[in-house]
Structure 1
Amino acid sequence: MADAEKYVLDYSINDTLDDIDDLVDFVEGELIGNDDFFSIDGFSGRFTFLNDAHTGDIVIRHWINKTGIEMAFNRNIACLITQNPKDGAIEEAKRLGFPLIITDKIELANAYALSYTISHFSPTSTNVVITGTNGKSTTSHMIYHILNNAGYHVLTNTDSESEFNTLIDPMVSKLISDEVETNGTIDYLVIEVSEVQGWLGHLMENHAALMSEAVRPRVGVITNIAMDHIGLINSVDDVFNELKAVPESIGRGFTVLNHDDELVRKLDAQNPFYTSMSKLDSDNAVYFDDGKIIYDGSTILTIDELPFKGNHFIQNILSAIGACISLNLDIDVITDGVKTYKALNRRFAKLNDEPLIYDDFAHNPDGIKATISETLKLLPDNQKLHVVCAIRGSRGIEINQLNVDALIESMDENIVLYLSSSNDVVNELNFVEEDEREVFFNTLNKNNIDYIHFDNLEDCLREVYNKADKKDIILLIGAQGMDPAESLLSDII
């Protein structure tokens, strides 16, 4: 393995800030209000949210109204950047002389914020970015654990619900500045990046590449390329187009690529490192073969030492190992981290023993097929697999059509299928619309697939638990509509 230290990334985001015009230029914005209000000497260096802001901070918000401008002015905020001023916001900014920057691309503001924050709060950290359609949260969290287990100060934006992996707000910038101010210098940043992102149905083009460039990674990981975020993109080729610039953003750092994914193999990286679920004849690779993980001709882990046994989770493990090898960590440090890893919530988490209940964040076609396939391998002879699927709410019929198609493709004579609209546990942003429900019903009926639908998740879980034999397996899959399942089950079991 070449020495990663010798690679200096080409970096085009200019994160110097001498005056407010630098900020206006980078975000391709228009300044409303008084440009003399902003002083670089008075800028705190923090990019944050309005409710969290203090004197000298810069706030980034998708929309702002007159009341928000008044609040920002009263808090002595340095300036505010928005994409959607409304309800008198512009007039109030002019009246107060408050600097309001309006941009058509709020993602540029958040990229600038992230770049500036890293430069000024964490300039010496070694940085890693992870993107792709599936597996990025598990991969990011495992890299974080390996580094943390080795005694380094590590920050990651990965959380169990994937809330912080976007450029739609300044959350990652806030996380970094808060962490440094509270706990000191960061050794490693492990940043998960959504492969496709948008706002109000508008695609933020090149989101993953823009985020990666802002992070200035020593190592980047691309897990796979598949369908999700329907409406923002319409084909897997669109996903590829969103990710193809990521290796360029990583530059002369290492890019860890899933060799088993045909589209990922097509990505052009200067310094690729490959992972595979079968043997690879390459020095810059780690692979799984015959129950063993092999690197540089030697077995470094056996399947019995892994925290997961399913193929798609082993691929995530390989990606994490590949990233840590590319960071020049000792193999013993890496393997100890893998052995001691505990999964994120809802990543094939076991919730009960009799019957076995597994909970997984499978919420798109590839995730659904992989998770059901792996669970069927665990099913005892003559027993049933009870699949409980939460329909995705307020995401449109296209992704739900793909998801129900994936269910049909995964069906087996031993599967009993339950659907939940989860009306009792979701908010208005995740409410299942009638057409989303109907696409499930119509497709399953057309293919003569039996199912039971419940409006409420609690009723669904109670029914499946009461019907399942102790030797059966219950598999819970879905995104927000299935998130509260564990807490509901605690009152049922």
Structure 2
Amino acid sequence: MELKKKRVLVVGLGKSGLAAALFLKARGAQVTVSDTRSASALAKDIPALLEVGIMVESGGHGLLTFRRQDLIVVSPGVPLDTPEVKQALAFGQTVIGELELASRFLEGRVVAITGSNGKTTTTTLVGKIFEDAGLPTLVGGNIGLPVIELIGESTPESWSVLEVSSFQLETVIEFKPKIAVVLNITPDHLDRHGSFANYAAAKTKITGQQDADDFLVLNAEDKATQMVAAKTKAQIFWFSATRQIKQGTFVHGESLFFKASETATPEPILPIAEIPLKGSHNVENVLAAVCAARLAGVPAESIRASVAAFHAVEHRLERVAKIADVEYYNDSKATNVDATMKAVASFAGGVHLILGGKDKDSDYTQLAPLLRERVRVVYTIGSAAQKIERELAGVVKIESAGTLDAALAKAAEAAVPGDVVLLAPACSSFDQFENYEHRGRVFRELVLAMKK
């Protein structure tokens, strides 16, 4: 992609938008940034942009700003139905995202991992397995560094292990991972995508440009994920925690195996007991990671050692503390109903569950059977509280707490020895917090303060 002297508009000044703008300018483009936030809200970034000659439009998008561009790069947080973006597409202008832009310049091979839940854990684990095996490895995307910031370190020999979201995949055109992994597809971000079909279609774009030399790793027990198989030209490898499969990774007895082909002998990788992560959903994440690693040529013994030494990722069923024989777990990353179900299912019972935040057009009634079985009390917080209380009325005892600190105080008072206090909100965090990491950090700080 030739960028020199091209007029490029970056829409949205988030982390990836800022990185894209600076990258484009360094490549000789004439760059403008447009954001709906006010100049005061962007104060920490504007001086650095102006200093290198990047124009900044704040407080809204101008239609003429969009019309005067050779290329438009939208940040993941900017919906494609934003009126100005929609009009640009209607006029036939080229609109891509930061992931697509970065993929045009990133050297080496890519492992791209998506799914409604488990992306961060699986991406981090794959990165660790590759690094431990001595492969030149870069990790980023929807976690850590934006993909565009990995370009400078990439080489023809490197592996870039990327977490990619539906927001990022919406705008890919030529993005072509060597190994693509789709962990699961369950309802999420319906407020953004409009329907589950649209959301699933965005996830499917991960394999759109793959060919017969590439690999696609899919969940054999997830119906929506299975549908991706019909959309690919790549070699398909499956993973299953419940049955033996013809090609891929699976659990048999008490161990995890990899099968390189339909005719190959299953290769033992590690006993399930050596997986240090809590919850059956994490067995699936490990199966997917192992499959990707074997496809990249990492030996079984190296994979086993890496998995055994892996620890839970921050904000994902993270054990914070045990106080008065009550355990406190931070699963702030559980930002949809399916993730919350997986978190609750990781405990036998006695759960005090903190739910709520910003609703994403979710159906909380799906939680009902599991709540009846394992949860003592639900404490609601945030703007979704009333909807949650309405949809779960009569299922379990519900206490309206409003804020995270109030919910934690109520839960700590009600919990008895052997119980679990679990933050697994089933909602995004943007009504009361900067992001799910901020929410998780606040929860952790509040819990640890109780120990003093």
- Shorter-chain TM-score range: 0.7 to 0.9
Whole-Å separation in 1 of the counterparts to 2:38 and 2:396: 54
Shift of 1:56: 4.6
Task: Say if 2:163 is the partner of 1:192.
Answer: yes
Matches within 5 A, 1:102-121: 104=88, 108=96, 110-118=98-106
| Amino acid in structure 1 at the alignment position of 2:335 | H
Matched, 1:359 2:327: no
Aligned mate of 2:150, from 164, 169, 176 = 176
CA shift, 1:235, in A, is 3.7
**1:239 CA displacement:** 2.5
- Equivalent in the alignment of 1:339: 308
Shift of 1:109: 5.2
Deviation of 1:330 (Å): 1.4
SS of 1:134 mapped into structure 2? coil
Aligned to 1:260: 221
When the two chains are superposed, the root-mean-square deviation of aligned CA atoms in Å is 3.9
User: Residue in 2 aligned with 1:491?
Assistant: 449
Question: CA separation of 1:100/1:233 partners in 2, compared to 1, >3 Å: closer, same or farther?
Answer: closer
Does 1:20 pair with 2:6?
A: yes
| Alignment of structure 1 residues 459-478 onto 2, 5 Å | 459-478=406-425
Once residues 344 and 38 of structure 2 are traced to their aligned partners in structure 1, the CA distance between those partners, rounded to angstroms, is 50
> How many residues are aligned here?
400
Q: Using the alignment, how far apart are the partners of 1:90 and 1:294 within structure 2?
A: 55
CA shift digits 1:243-266 (9 cap, x unpaired): 333322233310011111112112
* 1:212–1:246 Cα contact (<8 Å) kept: no
Match of 2:263 in 1: none
Which amino acid is 1:273 matched to?
Answer: F
Describe the SS at the equivalent of 2:329. Answer: strand
Match in the other structure for 2:390: 442
Q: Distance in 1 between matches of 2:305 and 2:203?
A: 32
> Per the alignment, do residues 109 and 77 of structure 1 end up closer, same or farther by CA in structure 2, a change over 3 Å counting?
farther
1:277 aligns with 2:225: no
- CA, structure 1 residues 107+278, in 2 after alignment: closer, same or farther (shift >3 Å)? farther
Deviations 1:208-231 (A, max 9, x none): 2644843x3111101111100022
Q: Is the 8 A contact 2:269 2:303 kept in 1?
A: no
Give, in angstroms, the shift of residue 146 of structure 1: 0.7
Aligned to 2:346: 374
2: distance between equivalents of 1:140 and 1:344?
10
Match of 1:291, as an amino acid?
E
Counterpart among 60, 63, 66 of residue 35 in structure 2: 63
1:75 and 2:54 equivalent? no
Return the letter of the residue paired with 1:191. L
Match of 1:452 among 399, 409, 413: 399
Report matched runs for 1:314-325 at 5 Å: 314-325=283-294
Q: Contact (CA 8 Å) 1:225, 1:236: kept in 2 or not?
A: no
1:418 Cα deviation from its structure 2 partner:
3.0
The letter of the residue matching 1:317 is: V
Map 1:87-98; keep pairs closer than 5 Å: none
Work out whether 1:133 is the aligned partner of 2:81.
Answer: no
- Secondary structure in 2 aligned to 1:293? strand
8 Å CA contact 1:351, 1:486 repeated in 2: yes
* CA shift in 2, pair 1:71/1:302, >3 Å: closer
* Unaligned runs of at least 5 residues, structure 1: 1-14, 30-45, 165-170, 198-206, 422-431
Match of 1:6 in 2: none
Q: What is the alpha-carbon distance in structure 1 between the residues aligned to residue 37 and residue 386 of structure 2?
A: 38
Correspondence for 1:223: 183
Please identify, of 138-147 and 289-298, the stretch whose mean Cα deviation from structure 2 is larger: 289-298
CA, structure 1 residues 280+136, in 2 after alignment: closer, same or farther (shift >3 Å)? same
Within 1, Cα distance between the matches of 2:404 and 2:309? 33
Give distance in 1, aligned partners of 2:286 and 2:272: 11
CA distance in 1, matches of 2:23, 2:248: 46
Residue-by-residue CA offset, 1:409-432 (whole Å, 9 max, x unaligned): 3222552223242xxxxxxxxxx3
Q: TM-score by structure 2 length? A: 0.76
Distance 1:462 1:287 in 2: 42
SS at match of 2:190: coil
**From 353, 369, 393, the counterpart of 1:387:** 353
Residue matched to 1:410? 370
Greater Rg, structure 1 or structure 2? 1
Which shifted more, 311-320 or 125-134? 125-134
- 2: CA distance, partners of 1:247 / 1:453: 43
Q: CA deviation at 1:51?
A: 12
- What is the SS of the residue equivalent to 2:111? strand
Deviation at 1:286, TM superposition (A): 0.7
With normalisation by structure 1, the TM-score equals: 0.70
